[in-house]
């Protein structure tokens, strides 16, 4: 059944003066990359951007960023509306906020909440209206989207502008840095440099004891162990820190044990987002599969090597368009496959990337 629209008496002139609003329900890495769009809208409008999203990681990831206005997070967009207090609170907030220029950056789920909140269709720019260009980086796409606007507000919004940056960017508070330092001290990791290695992903963790062969982002434990041994040879004074979720801890343990070296710390399930970010910021470098923490590390300025499965390393490069990242892909039987990436390629990319940081 179609949802009837309620237009809460906002004329186009008044609507154009509202802060921009962005709706995006994405995974951790998706939300890091979204910062490219949010910053561009902030610079175009000269106002912080209100955001609607979901996921427990979104609030600690985005709160405190200079371009963020109000952040509304719902637990699930799939829960029926009449059963979701989060969705009902969101709709109430939208109606109080009144309609303004809105960017919808998702699939169809969620559009109904904007409708319930009284935002007319002519005030919503749906990013699906813009076709992807061949091998277009997500950074350039977001900048193009940020220079568009809802049809109903044509001619009344600030004009398009060149991008100040094509890179995702995150800022960490001094408070968060202090907590990260306490975490490092408690684990006796504060007195030496560390390299972060993030080998797992949600799909790997879900397999548990079942075979992981064929999983998009699965790079075998033995290869990770080889990389860790090489890092130790190149950086004998460093610590290797394995990060991940609780369900990835066993995977990390197998890698650490197989490496046969000391000084490998398994931090899976020890780092909530608010601590993970400053840990990544302070790291010497990072090697990871294509996953959210890799995008966050790149957005924080940490040299990052990312291994890609079937996703495009051109379109979804770590942190958007950043100069301190390397995106690796491999080929198996003519198709892109993470198993086509060798350990030598990973170490070579890392060595080239860190350059003068290769020894302290």
The pLDDT score that the predictor gives to residue 104 is 98
Q: What is the pTM of this model?
A: 0.92
The pLDDT score that the predictor gives to residue 213 is 60
Phi, psi of 328 (to 5 degrees): -105, 140
Q: Where are the domains of the chain?
A: 12-153, 177-358
The pLDDT score that the predictor gives to residue 1 is 35
Q: Which of 137, 157, 158, 146 is nearest to 22 (CA)?
A: 146
Beta carbons of 122 and 152 less than 8 angstroms apart: yes
The pLDDT score that the predictor gives to residue 10 is 58
The pLDDT score that the predictor gives to residue 101 is 98
Residue 68: its H or E element: strand 68-74
Q: How far is CA 41 from CA 53, 157, 203, 300, 324, in A?
A: 17, 11, 34, 20, 24
Sign of the dihedral defined by the CA atoms of residues 122, 124, 128, 130, in that order:
positive
Q: What is the third-level CATH fold of 12-153? A: Rossmann fold (3.40.50)
The pLDDT score that the predictor gives to residue 4 is 39
Beta carbons of 275 and 183 less than 8 angstroms apart: yes
Tens-digit pLDDT profile for the chain (360 aa)? Answer: 344 344 444 588 899 999 999 999 999 999 999 999 999 999 999 999 999 999 889 999 999 999 999 999 999 888 999 999 999 999 999 999 999 999 999 987 899 999 999 999 999 999 999 999 998 999 999 999 999 999 999 999 999 999 999 999 999 999 999 999 999 999 999 999 999 999 998 777 555 544 456 688 999 999 999 999 999 999 999 999 999 999 999 999 999 999 999 889 999 999 999 999 999 999 999 999 999 999 999 999 999 999 999 999 999 999 998 889 999 999 999 999 999 999 999 999 999 999 855 433
Q: Do domains 12-153 and 177-358 have the same CATH topology?
A: yes
The pLDDT score that the predictor gives to residue 209 is 45
State the residue for tokens 């408070």. Answer: 175
State the residue for tokens 């162990």. Answer: 225
- The span from the CA of 290 to the CA of 337, in Å, is 12
Which segments of 171-291 does DSSP mark as H helices, in order? 174-186, 202-207, 221-234, 249-259, 273-282
Q: How far is CA 161 from CA 23, 30, 136, 145, 358, in A?
A: 22, 23, 19, 12, 39
Q: What is the third-level CATH fold of 177-358? A: Rossmann fold (3.40.50)
């Amino acid at each position: 059944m179609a949802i009837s629209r309620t237009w809460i008496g906002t004329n186009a002139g008044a609507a154009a003066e509202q802060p921009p609003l962005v709706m995006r329900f994405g995974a951790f890495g998706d939300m890091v990359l979204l910062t490219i769009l949010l910053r561009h809208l902030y610079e175009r409008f000269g106002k912080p951007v209100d955001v609607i999203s979901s996921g427990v990681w979104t609030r600690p990831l985005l709160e405190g960023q200079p371009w963020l206005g109000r952040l509304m997070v719902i637990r699930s967009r799939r829960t029926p509306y009449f059963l979701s207090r989060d969705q009902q609170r969101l709709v109430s907030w939208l109606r109080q906020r009144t309609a303004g220029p809105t960017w919808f950056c998702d699939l169809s789920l969620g559009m109904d909440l904007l409708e319930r909140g009284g935002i007319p269709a002519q005030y919503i720019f749906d990013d699906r209206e813009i076709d992807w260009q061949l091998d277009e980086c997500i950074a350039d796409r977001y900048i193009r989207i940020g220079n568009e606007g809802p049809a109903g507000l044509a001619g009344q919004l600030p004009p398009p502008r060149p991008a100040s940056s094509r890179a995702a960017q995150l800022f960490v508070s001094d408070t968060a840095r202090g907590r990260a330092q306490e975490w490092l001290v408690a684990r006796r990791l504060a007195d030496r440099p560390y390299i972060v290695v993030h080998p797992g992903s949600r799909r790997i963790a879900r397999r548990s004891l079942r075979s992981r062969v064929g999983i998009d982002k699965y790079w075998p434990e033995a290869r990770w162990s080889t990389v860790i041994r090489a890092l130790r040879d190149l950086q004998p004074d460093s610590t290797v820190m394995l990060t991940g979720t609780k369900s990835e801890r066993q995977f990390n343990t197998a890698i650490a044990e197989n490496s046969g070296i000391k000084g490998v710390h398994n931090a899976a399930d020890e780092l909530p987002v608010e601590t993970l970010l400053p840990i990544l910021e302070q790291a010497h470098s990072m090697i990871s599969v294509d996953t959210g923490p890799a995008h966050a590390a790149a957005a924080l300025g940490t040299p990052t090597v990312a291994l890609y499965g079937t996703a495009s390393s051109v379109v979804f490069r770590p942190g958007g368009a950043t100069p301190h990242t390397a995106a690796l892909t491999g080929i198996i039987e003519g198709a892109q496959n993470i198993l086509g990436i060798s350990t030598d390629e990973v170490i070579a990319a890392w060595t080239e990337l860190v350059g003068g940081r290769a020894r302290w």
